Chain A
């Protein structure tokens, strides 16, 4: 890739108040107020807030970049930090083009309300689908480049020299002929008054100095000492605390509750109905609110789904495995029917992937302050804009009268792309005008009121010729569509194309193999359990289906699973490259340690190419140990390799926790699991060594936070088969007898 020249819309950069900085710097406001955290009265007074605001009256060069007189650089980040490192990665992108001193960089969140007021200058606030870097790299780099141009121009004007004679590097502008220098901090005020250039050139990737460097995260310090304020930790002056219980049966309503049983309990201030399906206790402290809520007699109208169970849902999906009703085609070539008919051998298998919860470590929460003129919300959200829309709707106020202040997320994984907790908090606050209300869910509420990883089953039929070549493949997915429940506008003629991730003919989630006669179709069956996006969905279950079944086909053909895959991958060189990389790293083909067996998986997910080779052993008691996983990622460009490593390692924890333990079963129309005792997550003792291979091939931008999750489970499952001869097709593994034989 060469230098890119892109046009700059004056409008997009000039809709600014010039010198701003107060208002949307909540993160700074909070951390500045939490220094003396042993002080129980550490809520910020308006005086403190005003003082901080005036300190922040620093020049805004453009929407992305503010520079203080002492050269400190504040970069605005619209996407949410939830652990994935996007704050640091996006700041690197801006700073690369800005040519600023990285050691002076900090970040802040603009608010979605400011974004509306400034004509969408920061574009998307949505943080999901591994989009943070790949979806915004162009415009954030542009933001940095435009700011650099304006700072350089300001210096040139001050000196009365042509701008072409000046060059910026490391926050210093140098006039070449005279050798004079000045700093960004000196010229920022002047730069903020200039017009942006009409065109700007972005660097050739070969000239990048900061992109591609394993710089340290910008958000670590406060995460080491308790200073980081998450939504659950927020305190506002005069704030009351709320705990909530919604009808645990999906689709049920609130019938009645008996306030008299709790109204005299310590600290209790109010007991309120929330929407038509929940009740909340509001008290001085959250512990008091929750203690009272546990005592409160509540009667539910369980509604139409009270008899739904895992068995009834399975029945619905089983019907879809062979049905012709509501079936959508995702990928098709050749004639799979004839191919299977003419095959020397047909392999058939049916898999099932369960409902799962996100189980973010920080339970859902939001703090809201409502008056008839204004509604403000403080919350951890993956989508500030959607949170603002939800707040305005629940507040019954024009969106211009509302705003949302984001806090770092204690985990997101897709759950915080939904804004139901915002709706709940505002609905409570609206009943108590002028009082800030912090709503924090219990873990039990978080488990019961999820937006679950959807349930699907998958039936696969593969045909092999006499030589063991794959001649045809039919993949029938039966189960739930996320989009049908969440965003029907994204569907195409009734189909949810997201359900075909990993099996599509092209795009970010293309199939990694060339199959001569192929049919991938989906019988949409939508049980009454609310589905949601979930770190890695839908590729994670589809990669289990595809990569397990390809392994089944290889064994049925009497072929080595690596050789069998390679033969189908001639037209998929980048997928083949990552597969070869893990095979080489794991020394596929050479004997492993005694009792240790290997399994492979490969796929394209979120525009990145990923592969894994797992090494496992299963002892005579059937106990699984995952020893080591080699993982390769080609994300095109690697902005921060050490953070990519962290995400790849973390993806194994998320993907393997799901494989080992993750299931939300349904009984009486409600989720049966309630906390980490019956919805466990992996511990450090179960964590394998992970060898991460980051192999960016350039020329495209792939995602990082999710892709590796897709290969985690199938690589381990294929290794379990190699170890035991057992093909596991129902998940999670807990409770499955892995003893060989």
Chain B
């Protein structure tokens, strides 16, 4: 039995310790917003936050986790689509098929956590998720817009 802290809740998990966090989220907890796509850490569809940093959850074994690790999934980003990125994504109609978008948003959210005003180069080096529909230009605009929304909210 492992105890994890996910979206602010302490949760007991009973799985083989080699199970990746991705599959714990999806199959033990029903948090299916975190997507499986490549399983080798290449595509970013399974991105979650661990202590605020973007992590590809398909590469994290549950045995490496404990309650000192604050895990946030797309479901925990906001309760009502009000995170600045969600507002910006809505404003710009960013998603197409939408399958990569939870991971894309979580990568962008981690970037904004560390850098309130990212440049295009910051986005290029931090948001390395694959999107086959091709939402990249709206993703970029969305991140800048979310930064603006956050600034406006503070002023």
Footprint of B on A, CB under 8 Å?
A: 34, 37-42, 81-85, 216-217, 219-230, 232-233, 235, 241, 266, 285-288, 359-363, 408-413, 440, 442-443, 642-643, 646, 649-654, 657, 675-677, 681-685, 687, 689-690
Contacts and interface: CB of A to CB of B under 8 A. Distances in A.
Contact of A285 (B23, B32, B78, B127): B23
A486 to B, nearest CB: 22
B82 to A, nearest CB: 10
Interface string B77-106: 110010000100110011111111110010
A676 B40 contact: yes
Contacts of A362: 35, 37, 97, 99
A474 B134 CA distance: 35
A217 B33 contact: no
B131 A653 contact: yes
A224 B93 CA distance: 10
B135 interface: yes
A219 B98 contact: yes
Contact of A676 (B74, B78, B125, B130): B130
B139 interface: yes
Nearest to B127: A684
Interface of B: 6-7, 9, 16, 19-20, 23, 26-40, 42-43, 45, 73-75, 77-78, 81, 86, 89-90, 93-102, 105, 123-125, 127-140
A685 B125 contact: yes
A675 to B, nearest CB: 5
Interface of chain B: mostly helix, strand, loop or mixed: loop
24 contacts: A37-B31, A38-B29, A38-B75, A83-B95, A219-B98, A224-B81, A225-B33, A225-B78, A225-B81, A266-B16, A361-B99, A361-B100, A361-B131, A361-B133, A363-B36, A411-B99, A411-B133, A642-B93, A646-B93, A650-B134, A653-B136, A654-B133, A654-B134, A685-B124
B8 to A, nearest CB: 10
Given A230-B99, A685-B124, A411 B93 contact: no
A676 B42 contact: yes
A409 B20 contact: no
A37 B132 contact: no
Contact of B99 (A410, A440, A675, A685): A410
B93 A443 contact: no
A360 B45 CA distance: 12
Contacts of B31: 37-38, 226
Given A38-B9, A361-B43, A650-B134, A224 B101 contact: yes
Contacts of B130: 361, 676, 681, 683
A37 B124 CA distance: 32
Given A41-B30, A226-B31, A287-B20, 20 more contacts: A40-B28, A219-B98, A220-B89, A225-B74, A226-B73, A227-B33, A230-B98, A230-B99, A233-B32, A285-B28, A287-B19, A361-B99, A362-B99, A410-B97, A412-B97, A642-B93, A653-B134, A677-B42, A681-B130, A687-B137
A279 B127 CA distance: 37
